[in-house]
Structure 1
Amino acid sequence: MRRMNCLLRIACFICSALCLGNNLSAQTWIWYPGDYEIWLSNEMQNRRTERGTFFPVFWKIDNHYPLVDFHKVFDVSADEEVEIYVEGQYNVKLDGKAFEGYPQKIFVPAGRHKINIKVFNQKSVPAIFVRGKTIKSDSSWLLTYEDKEWIDETGKTSDISTTKWVNAGYWNFNTPEQLPSQFKLPVRPQDAVSMTAVGAGTLVDFGKETFGFIKLHKLKGKGKITVYYGESREEALDTAHTETFDKVYIDQKEGDFVFELSKAFRYVNIFTDPDVHFEKVSMLYEYADLEDKGSFRCNDEEINQIYEVAKYTFHLSTREFFIDGIKRDRWIWSGDAYQSYLMNYYLTNDNETVKRTILALRGKDPITSHINTIMDYTLYWFLSIYDYYLYSGDVSFVRNNYDRMKSLMHFVLGRRNKDGLLEGLPGDWVFIDWAEGLSKEGAVSFEQLLFARSLETMALVADIVGQQEDAQQYAKLAGDVRNKLFDIYWSQQKKAFVHSFVKGSPTHHVTRYANMFAIFFDYLSDEQKSFVKDSVLLNKRVPPITTPYMRFYELEALCALGEQSYVTQEMKSYWGGMLKLGATSFWEEYNPQKSGADHYAMYGRKYGKSLCHAWGASPLYLLGKYYLGVKPTSPGYATYTIEPALGGLKWMEGKVPTPNGNIEVYCSTTKLQVLSPVGIGKLILKSKIPPKCKDGIFVKRGDNLYELKIESNKRYQITYQAF
């Protein structure tokens, strides 16, 4: 706990100053923090359809505040004309005096002045863009959704000291013309690979899994068009069971036609009435325009292909937010998003998508259920805050969200049972994983593990924001849960955590979940880690994991134990197995025991499984963190470690993005090169011989274990002998 507190404190002041400075320099559209993210997520998530029917989310939908007061005090050295752009109805005050009508420009004389803009917008988020020579809209403006203002019988304005003002939210709408309410993802044309007549339809193949809008060229006539979408050829041709389709009626002269909603597909099967004709089919590929900053290559071409397909899977599932999969849900699920955050840190390192997703998932008070109604998904949300801060160094985001964290944890603490443990109550979904026969009864050990980590995160963040009493309270609660985790669930006989605690007694059943998380949470002693590796992770009698979702964590635990050689073979077997079946993106679930079209079935539906699911892209994270071996040890990579592990590969090279550039690593069995633009690093190297480096001195840390200090912007070339 002390170590984690130190991690969060290091470079806190520097990061805070940098983040604040960057925010203040931006002239941009601003809104109540979190509101745009909630509004945009509502817009996105409610596009889902199944076989032409609107399919809404399962959980409570929050909304933006329709009335918001914006204000800031400016010291103006010279008279200034200020332009005002607003989304919504509004009034403007200068030093408490209102302007008439809806002024698009105001005159501000030299001196100290306060500008207030109050905006009402029920349809979209109240937002403003203010542009003058020195007066501008940025994150330093203060906002409230309730100013508590009233006027007494004499006309005197009330004391509004109890009003809570917060700093404005923003994204990247940096010109008046970029209206936040009109945001759309970019698109680009993409041609089909083939068009084939199949029965009365036209089967179109785009060559790989993709996402966007179908476009019919030189369409003419009068009648109905039906488009059946398929992630597989079988799905597109099985018109009675495709998950999604479009039906439209047209009456037009020759011209191009683009369907209204974007969809996921590789194949489309198109039927038209006899009088309707088209010449060609293409699509508008819809995407989030994020740059790949991280990379990985090695001597094994199958691993390279797995990495490339994982990248493509990640990009397809990254839209306005990190979503689960592109065909079926297209929703923001906290457990899925948590993995996407981690992959993001090793590929695109895009902070904005992380923050948008975290804010959209949290929603607003009052809290009436777990995030996505799932207990473990609420707990992942807490973990995501700490990880974001560690990888980004963005202390302002942590500070601005402490109240949201605190009220959500208050809800969680209210769901404990008489033993102080989390147990599914009516209305709670205890998910863990898609696994046949997995018991959710009683207080499950896996949930207590996430609960303890969430309380530790609360203690750390409370310390950051200066709430020492809260920090002590959360630290004590975290310690209590960890103690109970070992007192109740750890079995000396099983050499592992048992799965659950039911009716006052621990069960004898062992599953992988709590055991593998306890390894990379570093909750176990070295001896206990060794026990768990043999009795659980490498024990075929313990029920196997078949979803990429939990394979992510199982392989992470094995990597944390130094079993990269084993993990390499598992990646080649599991992800390589999907590639051998023709996968062009990674799936929601893969069971090598299935065959043919049975691979596409899930949820009792023939094609219910997503063949492009974000949690399938975990090799991005594993290869960056545990093979290249790069991970931050204090916020924003102020300090970090590099601990490369070839895992049976002959050589590998890659880049890991940080807030200030990429850390570059090349590693073979005899040579190592490192270049970092940031912080102070620690290279940890296992070598059969003492490693040599003309630019630094290695210190021996144990049997065949050596350590080298890495300074920024200095290239290190090392010779050694790998095991």
Structure 2
Amino acid sequence: MQTRFSVFKKLLVFVVIFSSSFLSAQEKTKEATWIWYPGDFEINLANQMQNRRTERDSFFPVFWKTDSPYNLVDFHKFFDLQAPEDVTIAVEGTYNIKIDGKALQGFPKKISMPAGKHKLSLKVYNQASVPAIFIDGKTIKSDNSWLVTYEDKEWIDETGKASDQSGTTWLQAGSWNLNQASLPPSKFALPVKKMEAVSHVKMGTETLYDFGKETFGFIQLNGLQGKGTVAIYYGESKEEALSKEHCETLDQIEVASNTPQDRIMELSKAFRYVLVAPSNGVEIASVMMWFEYADLKDKGSFTCSDAEINEIYDVAKYTFHLTSREFFIDGIKRDRWIWSGDAYQSYLMNYYLTNDSPTVERTLLALRGKDPVTAHINTIMDYTFYWFLGIYDYYQYSGDKTFIKQFYPRMQSLMEYCLSRRNENGMMQGLSGDWIFIDWAEGLSKKGEVSFEQLLLARSLEAMTVCAAIAGNEQDSAKYKDLGIQLKTKIFDKYWNPEKQALVHSYVDGKQTENVTRYANMFAIFFDYFNEEQKQQVKKSVLLNDKVQKIVTPYMRFYELESLCAMGEQDYVLKEMKEYWGGMLKLGATSFWEEYNPTKKGTEHLAMYGREFGKSLCHAWGASPIYLLGKYYLGVKPTAPGYSEYEIKPSLGGLQWMQGKVPTPNGEIEVYCSTKEIKVKAVEGEGKLIFESSAKPKSNSGTITALAKNKYQLIVKPNVEYKISYKAL
């Protein structure tokens, strides 16, 4: 097996080419591309990435079942050629080629396809990596219009006649713009660029290097010579890098050459500080790094009148980019795994910043894996439900039905697994092997029927209702719709407490518990499960009630602040954002953390999981201001799949002005809002600009209609710049 960096060294000259792999689905060209069975490259790549995790130079594998690609795959497509065509062929694996069912001799790299209607097919076997093909001719090119299967169900009778394969399930091929024949899927690597430390401090024979901010990549030792060892201690903080006994990651290498050489570490690491400690007899001329990144381009933006909010947005963007790699991962130092709860939030941030559909698809496929289902995703009940929600949101923001049609069977089998684990009351309850996470919160009970889990299942059933219909399975759609309606009724019958004016946390031994937590209540707000009276009651009795246990993770602050924004509390949320994320900035954060508790002091902020430096200081769920500012301040969201219809409902929340862009599948929606003027422009769909004004507003284009007292609406058409004069309330 090749080491991580042996692959990297071979591909260093190709990183610019591979950076084009991150083009969005809308930017795909008609070039030939490598294709494979859908989901297999993603599963294989996830296996490679997640099993690079180390803790103090020890291998740390994932906790859950991993799957493998199918090792024998059949590819085909029909062509109608006006003239004969020469076609070049590249394959990862052992293969045969057939034209109209007749096999060609050997393993040809080039064939000639005759004019007329013909079927070109390849069957590829590869046990070591993903069976994949690259076909390139004038008109014959491999792309996702090819059909593939892992079992062609072909048979031959006693006369030699082949079956018609009518029992075969064919799917559209998987692809990802890997459009160079010489760079197959097995050689994929993220691009890198050279970076130098901003400063260094000598401490005897050791040197502490500071790269200026949180970063990720490969350390390189230049001019390395002598006989002995070099130890490298990594730290997201200076304290961690200097703690040889307790830093989370390190490297140790042997040196046995008097000829100066450059050595690059085999595995990428997360760090800001690096302590390089050579033994006696070893010399190092200099130290640098190769920064590894996913070349995702920002399409969304946000700036405003508040400098601190602008800094929070910029650091959130940097955090998001660091944790957006081959997949959306949790944090770059410790796990570097694909956790469904973390990824779900990254999907939402992505829709307001890079809008990169391929990364969403890869992450969803890697998380789901293959049948049979033997456990919840990541072994966590709530994380299974976030997976369903992630597909539903992906459809809303992208309009892509193909993904759902292709992978509906995997949705169906996972949902049936969930339904099979309901208790006698038809509710989800933790069984052996289930991890009910919810959040990192001291003393949070997971016993009995927890209301939060039932709420997520109800929303997942709604997602299944829509997806089953898209997949053409109306029977399933009706079944899941009925189950969802029944469950929502049960939720309010069992958990709503009129005296507490909230949903209680759990149901244990046949009765409500007294505990009220924020989780189910805030989700029910933005799921729109409460009536208006209940929303107002919950806002007062839970969301704005300091007696209810506070949330200390950015993970759940994401949802808490979203629920408040959904209730029109943007002024309050802006102050909370400045206090919470601004609090991390005041402590010197250059990316946002896994957890922030303002009551902690000094190095207490670095500890977690019983370890001095266990906390991740760059965690995906810390970047949520990207989503909040785009959806609830600029106020842009799709109201029909793929932004065919959308809403713009700007809310300054105490700002004097703000402006930004929200990416859609085919362009951007631009918004500017001050206390006196609103400007909007969009490239597609039909939007509704909804705003409040204490005076009668005027527009340079379109017709403003009154919806209620001080509330107005303007229909936004594509490629028209609207300028509205108004007076903010």
**Number of the residue aligned with 1:96:** 101
Cα deviation 1:354-403 (Å, max 9, x = unaligned):
01001110100000000000000000000111111111111111211211
**Number of the residue aligned with 1:44:** 49
Cα deviation 1:632-670 (Å, max 9, x = unaligned):
101111110100001111111111111111111111111
**Number of the residue aligned with 1:11:** none
**CA deviation after TM superposition for structure 1 residue 27, in Å:** 2.0
**Number of the residue aligned with 1:575:** 581
Note if 1:565 corresponds to 2:561.
no
- Would the aligned equivalents of 2:25 and 2:357 in 1 still touch at CA under 8 Å? no
**CA deviation after TM superposition for structure 1 residue 697, in Å:** 2.0
Note if 1:420 corresponds to 2:449.
no
- Would the aligned equivalents of 1:20 and 1:396 in 2 still touch at CA under 8 Å? no
Note if 1:453 corresponds to 2:455.
no
Which aligned pairs between 1:628-647 and structure 2 lie closer than 5 A?
628-647=634-653
Note if 1:157 corresponds to 2:141.
no
**Number of the residue aligned with 2:662:** 656
Which aligned pairs between 1:245-256 and structure 2 lie closer than 5 A?
245-252=250-257, 253-256=259-262
Query: What CA distance in whole angstroms lies between the structure 1 residues aligned with 2:670 and 2:120?
Result: 48
Cα deviation 1:493-522 (Å, max 9, x = unaligned):
110000001121121210000000001111
- Would the aligned equivalents of 2:26 and 2:665 in 1 still touch at CA under 8 Å? no
- Would the aligned equivalents of 1:23 and 1:139 in 2 still touch at CA under 8 Å? no
**Number of the residue aligned with 2:336:** 330
Which aligned pairs between 1:204-215 and structure 2 lie closer than 5 A?
204-215=209-220
Note if 1:473 corresponds to 2:483.
no
The letter of the residue matching 1:656 is: V
Which aligned pairs between 1:125-164 and structure 2 lie closer than 5 A?
125-164=130-169
**CA deviation after TM superposition for structure 1 residue 701, in Å:** 0.9
**Number of the residue aligned with 1:182:** 187
The letter of the residue matching 1:43 is: Q
Query: What CA distance in whole angstroms lies between the structure 1 residues aligned with 2:602 and 2:198?
Result: 23
Q: Pick from 345, 367, 371: which aligns with 1:365?
A: 371
Query: What CA distance in whole angstroms lies between the structure 2 residues aligned with 1:707 and 1:342?
Result: 26
Query: What CA distance in whole angstroms lies between the structure 1 residues aligned with 2:685 and 2:80?
Result: 37
**Number of the residue aligned with 1:348:** 354
**CA deviation after TM superposition for structure 1 residue 159, in Å:** 4.7
The letter of the residue matching 1:366 is: P
Query: What CA distance in whole angstroms lies between the structure 2 residues aligned with 1:140 and 1:117?
Result: 15
- Bigger mean CA offset, 461-470 vs 375-384: 461-470
The two structures have a TM-score, normalised by structure 1, of 0.96
Q: Pick from 712, 715, 722: which aligns with 1:706?
A: 712
The letter of the residue matching 1:257 is: R
**CA deviation after TM superposition for structure 1 residue 309, in Å:** 0.4
Q: Pick from 500, 525, 532: which aligns with 1:494?
A: 500
The letter of the residue matching 2:140 is: I
Q: Pick from 154, 172, 176: which aligns with 1:171?
A: 176
The residue matched to 2:439 in structure 1 has which SS?
coil
Query: What CA distance in whole angstroms lies between the structure 2 residues aligned with 1:239 and 1:245?
Result: 9
Query: What CA distance in whole angstroms lies between the structure 2 residues aligned with 1:711 and 1:437?
Result: 52
Runs of 5+ in structure 2 lacking a partner?
1-23
**CA deviation after TM superposition for structure 1 residue 21, in Å:** 10
Note if 1:513 corresponds to 2:531.
no
**CA deviation after TM superposition for structure 1 residue 311, in Å:** 0.3
**Number of the residue aligned with 2:318:** 312
**CA deviation after TM superposition for structure 1 residue 616, in Å:** 0.1
Q: Pick from 181, 202, 213: which aligns with 2:207?
A: 202
- Displaced runs of 4 or more, over 6 A: 19-24
Query: What CA distance in whole angstroms lies between the structure 1 residues aligned with 2:684 and 2:487?
Result: 37
The residue matched to 1:206 in structure 2 has which SS?
strand
Query: What CA distance in whole angstroms lies between the structure 2 residues aligned with 1:30 and 1:159?
Result: 24
- Would the aligned equivalents of 1:675 and 1:713 in 2 still touch at CA under 8 Å? yes
The residue matched to 1:378 in structure 2 has which SS?
helix
Note if 1:598 corresponds to 2:600.
no
**CA deviation after TM superposition for structure 1 residue 483, in Å:** 0.4
CA gap 1:21/1:636 in 2 versus in 1, 3 angstroms: closer
Note if 1:293 corresponds to 2:330.
no
**CA deviation after TM superposition for structure 1 residue 267, in Å:** 0.3
The residue matched to 1:355 in structure 2 has which SS?
helix
The residue matched to 1:594 in structure 2 has which SS?
coil
Query: What CA distance in whole angstroms lies between the structure 2 residues aligned with 1:422 and 1:568?
Result: 36
Cα deviation 1:298-352 (Å, max 9, x = unaligned):
1111101000000000000000000000000000000000000000000011111
Query: What CA distance in whole angstroms lies between the structure 1 residues aligned with 2:32 and 2:400?
Result: 20
Query: What CA distance in whole angstroms lies between the structure 2 residues aligned with 1:159 and 1:170?
Result: 27
**CA deviation after TM superposition for structure 1 residue 65, in Å:** 0.3
**Number of the residue aligned with 2:290:** 284
Q: Cα RMSD (Å) of the superposition?
A: 1.4
Query: What CA distance in whole angstroms lies between the structure 2 residues aligned with 1:304 and 1:158?
Result: 64
**Number of the residue aligned with 2:246:** 241
- Would the aligned equivalents of 2:211 and 2:272 in 1 still touch at CA under 8 Å? yes
The letter of the residue matching 1:249 is: E
**CA deviation after TM superposition for structure 1 residue 24, in Å:** 9.4
**CA deviation after TM superposition for structure 1 residue 151, in Å:** 2.8
Query: What CA distance in whole angstroms lies between the structure 2 residues aligned with 1:702 and 1:121?
Result: 65
The letter of the residue matching 1:164 is: T
- Bigger mean CA offset, 146-155 vs 367-376: 146-155
Query: What CA distance in whole angstroms lies between the structure 1 residues aligned with 2:162 and 2:25?
Result: 33
Runs of 5+ in structure 1 lacking a partner?
1-18
Aligned residues: 705
The residue matched to 2:430 in structure 1 has which SS?
coil
**CA deviation after TM superposition for structure 1 residue 199, in Å:** 4.9
- Would the aligned equivalents of 2:25 and 2:356 in 1 still touch at CA under 8 Å? no
The letter of the residue matching 1:288 is: A
**Number of the residue aligned with 1:625:** 631
Query: What CA distance in whole angstroms lies between the structure 1 residues aligned with 2:632 and 2:611?
Result: 37
Query: What CA distance in whole angstroms lies between the structure 1 residues aligned with 2:193 and 2:534?
Result: 53
**Number of the residue aligned with 1:226:** 231
The residue matched to 1:430 in structure 2 has which SS?
coil
- Would the aligned equivalents of 2:299 and 2:354 in 1 still touch at CA under 8 Å? yes
Query: What CA distance in whole angstroms lies between the structure 2 residues aligned with 1:717 and 1:506?
Result: 53
The two structures have a TM-score, normalised by structure 2, of 0.95
Query: What CA distance in whole angstroms lies between the structure 2 residues aligned with 1:361 and 1:132?
Result: 35
The residue matched to 2:154 in structure 1 has which SS?
coil
Note if 1:117 corresponds to 2:122.
yes
Query: What CA distance in whole angstroms lies between the structure 1 residues aligned with 2:110 and 2:698?
Result: 67
**Number of the residue aligned with 1:9:** none
The letter of the residue matching 1:628 is: L
CA gap 1:550/1:20 in 2 versus in 1, 3 angstroms: closer
Which aligned pairs between 1:657-696 and structure 2 lie closer than 5 A?
657-696=663-702
**Number of the residue aligned with 2:81:** 76
**CA deviation after TM superposition for structure 1 residue 175, in Å:** 2.2
Query: What CA distance in whole angstroms lies between the structure 2 residues aligned with 1:673 and 1:311?
Result: 24
